[in-house]
Structure 1
Amino acid sequence: MKLRKLLLFPLPGLLVLTSLFSCGEDRWKEYYPLTGRDLWMDSLMREVYLWYEDIPASKGLNYFQGPEAFLKSILSKNDKGFSTVDTIMDTPLPSYGFDYTLYKIATSDTTYNALVSYVAKNSPAEEAGLKRGSWIMLVDGDSITKKTEERLMDGGARTLHIGKYVIVKDENNEDTEGDTETEDGDSEDAEDDEDDKGVGVIQEIGDVTLPAVRPVTESPVYVNGVIALEGTDYKIAYLAYNSFTAGTAESNEKYNNELRTFSQQCKQLNINNFILDLRYNSGGEMECVQLLADILVPADRLESPFAFLQYNDKQSSKNRDLILDSQLLQGGANLNLPKVYIITSGTTAGAAEMLINCLKPYMTIVLIGQTTKGEYVATETFINPEYPWALRPVVCEVFNSNGEANYSTGFKPDISINETSYLQYYLPLGDPNEILLNTALGVIAGAIELPKSQTTETAVKSFTTKKNIRKGLIIK
């Protein structure tokens, strides 16, 4: 990512620092190393911040705080964590590469099972054979408790005892999902029969070896493919796209080119429906939003207005329109779609929400899942060469071609589904039986019928691996 460098002389801070001069003695050199970063942040925010008028007066601020605390002290009430400051990191973080949610075991107040909610590609977790929907029952032979849970995060090699969620009948404990299992624990000849008396249990599979943590780099194109519905002429593209990231430091269009390649494959296969899975997409770069929109929209909408960026009154010269620019395709293909089905969650945010908002004037959008986060503004990255910190303040509001940006409470789904209410269908992304993808396929086929919810487990807490991807909506 390109970082915009900006070094501003902290004029507002001069008023504060006059109190540091005593008996005519200039103590600037003594105190500036302690306050300089906060003073720079203060000056920058008063110029570029969308809500700069809400920043408190300098005389009431503490310039000796850490960067996160200082930023929090000057943010507008409109800023719900959109503006951030963090260290500049260019290398991927070491991790196991999986997220999980703890569920309380019904027969114990102190032990838990961990549902694997996400597995990163090319990670130790994937190498171990963990999948989305796997359940971790034991860690190094011990039950998961508040004390032993730390082993799922501490970085060392681990032995995990895993299982899968199945429905059994109360009366004779027969597995309603089929009795035959493959070596990896997947059921064969699974039945779709739903039993009102069924009870969910974690069925043991066996042990796997989880290697130690290592740096993990992922493509934002997590899963892609084409699904043909038997007995119909539907050819459905599926794309699980986890961040709006153009590329790497070595190849700045690497991931955009993956999108372009997939769009060409879809064009050649004459796909006529598209399911875009944004449930894990917390945002990214605005340029990627434009590219994906160019791929999806009706062909006659290319070169039309796409979005309008509106800055504060000090920066109004930056106000500008974005268009659906066909030149961004660069070897990719426009799919000329009248409708797109988008899978969402509470973490779908920023750039992902911009895509939804800015496509709405031009095509039918069907949302499936849960309400999105509601991040309707864009940030820009600034660094000061003196400090290893990057400040990303909200700099503008983003409107679609109809002048709309009214989703501060998020986009509500057309079909609301909490996937954790269907744990037997909590499966890897791209599996046609996974509850949200299966629902989207049902909507396309005109035969949607949700299975009965048979989940009684209680979620206690969730853990998400820290990823060095940029969230929100970022202007480069």
Structure 2
Amino acid sequence: MMKIKKIALLILVATVFTGCFEDLDDNPISSKDVKDFVWKGMNSYYLYKENIPNLANDRFTNDSEYSEYLNGFSTPEELFESLIHDREHVDRFSWITSDYIALEQFLSGNSQSTGAEFDFYFEPGSTTQLFGVIRLVLNNSPAENQGLQRGQIFNAINGTSLTESNYSALLNQSSYTLNLANYNNNGTPSITDDSIDSTSESVTLSRINYSENPIHKTEIIEVNGENVGYLMYNGFTSSYNNQLNFAFDDFQANNVQHLILDLRYNPGGSILSATLLGSMITGQFNGEVFSKLEYNSDLQSNNTIYNFTDSFSGNSINSLNLNKVYILTTDSSASASEMIINSLSPYIDVIQIGQVTTGKSQASITIYDSPDYGRSGANPNHNYALQPLVAKTVNSLDQSVPSSGITPTITINENPMNYGALGHEDEPLLATAIQHIIDNGRVSAPEQYDFKRIKSTVDDHPLQNDMYID
């Protein structure tokens, strides 16, 4: 088995949206007031409140003790981080931002982006030098307009070779030039003698305000006289629910009998959108439990059941009434993507192909500094907001997604030598799903390249791995 080690850009969402708290003399609100909002918001909503003694309702006996506690933290960010339960293993996802305008735009699919997503690997034989692979080029983006394609390789930015210590800073610019390279396997199956060969080609990318349509690609593929629908869906964005329903209208009109749902780069999003997608895939379970949300002990009245449905916002859902679905995943598949797998599994066969998913069954909401923590009436003197985990999802059998992720039925790792064209029948993950349909389940995974995917990201923002409550 060939081994190649991979790393990817790790810039926490908190870094993207959280700036240093400015000099208090220049602000109309004090740091202490923001810290008061942080503590009260977490005390009211945090899913793991019972695991944090400092969030107990009886933690402070008087206002003076509470004030002294808040003064013990230099910034709102420091206080917030102190209230997180087991950051490394349990709550890897709650965060704080000092710019909720940017947060709102990001959650709605709007951001500053070049439209390129990358994976990063160590060069063969090196523990410091890196090369990048373009894993996704978004539609109608600067990256697409520049002719970039999935699978292209680069080993420098602005002429500077990529290393483990500099690649994130080089990439985190409003405009930069990718210096393209070739992967040379030297004609052998072993990677020990492989090399990354520089070329004279380069492409300059600049970020623009970009709104991503999460319905990246649809195809209808004929297999043994039957129609197979392929949908690459990159984010559960509720503002695109109608477009998602239109895609299933096309599948329905073409008598699609098998569905391959590509969630390999889908980090999550709206629970409502996930429920609607589950209803579009099926249709025969209308009114039955799709998923359940469970809150902390103080908010049990907020517990919510999401049922399969045949309509939304006055629109009839276009359902395929399938008893089996193929879902393609990587470790970037998170939250609502995992909810789809977990919530459909009690009802239909889910054939998962690819890699183990992220392992996130919790949902978050945006908490503002307002009387009811909603957007209306938010304090006009600052733009801080919280995005904490407030509930966990379970399926109809009360099963949650393991924190270690969901293990695929058939394991296939993407690697620098197999980034096939998305939606093409010979792309490895899609090809395996098609072969599974042809052979009625008698299929084995292709040869694996054993590498560790630490984290994957777009060029300028991390995938937030979020599932939020509409």
Q: Please indicate, yes or no, whether the TM-score normalized by the shorter chain is above 0.5.
A: yes
How far has the Cα of 1:395 moved from its partner?
A: 2.0
Correspondence for 1:69 among 78, 101, 105: 78
Look up the equivalent residue of 1:378 and give its one-letter code: A
Does 1:161 find its partner at 2:168? no
Describe the SS at the equivalent of 1:378.
Answer: strand
TM-score by length of 1: 0.76
Rounded Cα–Cα distance in structure 2 between residues aligned with 1:206 and 1:236: 41
**Residue in 1 that maps onto 2:20:** none
After TM superposition, the structure 1 stretch with the greater mean CA deviation from structure 2, 208-217 or 220-229, is 208-217
Q: Which residues of 2 match residues 178-327 of structure 1 at below 5 A?
A: 207-229=201-223, 232-247=224-239, 255-297=240-282, 299-327=283-311
Which position in structure 2 is the counterpart of 1:370?
A: 355
Q: How far does residue 334 in structure 1 lie from its aligned partner after superposition?
A: 0.6
Structure 2: distance between partners of 1:147 and 1:320: 45
Q: Give the Cα separation in 1 of the matches to 2:208 and 2:355.
A: 32
Is the alpha carbon distance of 1:457 and 1:403 closer, same or farther for their aligned partners in structure 2, counting shifts above 3 Å? closer
Could you tell me which amino acid in structure 2 is paired with residue 260 of structure 1?
N
Q: Which residue identity does 1:362 align to in structure 2?
A: Y
**How far, CA to CA, are the matches of 2:466 and 2:452 in structure 1?**
30
Secondary structure of the corresponding residue to residue 256 of structure 2: coil
TM-score, length basis structure 2 = 0.77
2:112 matched residue in structure 1: 94
* 1:389 corresponds to which of 377, 384, 387: 384
1:97 is displaced (CA, Å) by: 2.6
Residues 268, 467 of structure 2: 8 Å contact kept: yes
Residue type matched to 1:352 in 2?
S
Does 1:356 find its partner at 2:341?
Answer: yes
SS of residue paired to 2:225: coil
Correspondent of 2:94 among 59, 66, 83: 83
| 2:233 maps to amino acid | Y
Tell me which residue corresponds to 2:409: 414
Q: Quick check: which has more Rg, 1 or 2?
A: 1
What does the per-residue CA deviation read over 1:274-323, in whole Å, with 9 as the maximum and x for residues that have no partner? 111111111111110111011011x3311212222222232222223221
- Matched-pair contact (CA < 8 Å) for 2:124–2:194: no
Q: Percent identity?
A: 28
Kindly tell me: are residues 66 and 120 of structure 1, through their superposed partners in 2, closer, same or farther at Cα, counting changes over 3 Å? farther
Q: Which residue of 1 aligns with 2:45?
A: 48
Comparing 60-69 with 74-83, which one deviates more in the overlay?
A: 60-69
Task: Report the AA paired with residue 448 of structure 1.
Answer: V
Q: Against the structure 1 CA distance between its residues 246 and 469, is the aligned structure 2 distance closer, same or farther, given a 3 Å change threshold?
A: farther
Number of aligned residues? 409
User: Unpaired runs of 5+ in structure 2?
Assistant: 1-26, 60-64, 370-377
Q: What is the CA–CA distance in structure 2 between the aligned matches of 1:109 and 1:381, rounded to whole Å?
A: 39
Aligned partner of 2:422: which letter?
L
Q: What's the counterpart of residue 252 of structure 1?
A: none
1:31 Cα deviation after fit: 12
Name the structure 1 match of 2:138.
120
Q: Is this contact kept in 2: 1:104–1:459, CA < 8 A?
A: no
Deviates more, 1:345-354 or 1:444-453: 444-453
Alpha carbons of structure 1 residues 473 and 152: separation in structure 2 relative to 1, 3 Å: closer
Q: Secondary structure of the equivalent of 1:429?
A: coil
Distance of 1:469 and 1:198 partners within structure 2: 31
Distance 2:402 2:172 in 1: 35
Q: Deviations over 1:242-279 (max 9, x none)?
A: 111011xxxxxxx1111111101101111111111111
**Shift in Å at residue 460 of structure 1?**
10
**Structure 2 residue aligned with 1:401:** 396
Q: Greater RCO between the two (CA within 8 Å, min separation 6)?
A: 2
Q: Is the 8 A contact 2:154 2:180 kept in 1?
A: yes
Amino acid corresponding to residue 405 of structure 1 in structure 2: S
Partners of 2:143 and 2:116 lie apart in 1 by 6
Q: CA deviation at 1:401?
A: 1.5
Tell me which residue corresponds to 2:325: 340
Instruction: Report which stretch shifted further, 62-71 or 113-122.
Output: 62-71
Distance 2:336 2:322 in 1: 20
AA matched with 1:296: I
Displacement of 1:365 after TM fit? 0.7
Deviations 1:147-202 (A, max 9, x none): 88555443335363344x576535xxxxxxxxxxxxxxxxxxxxxxxx79997666
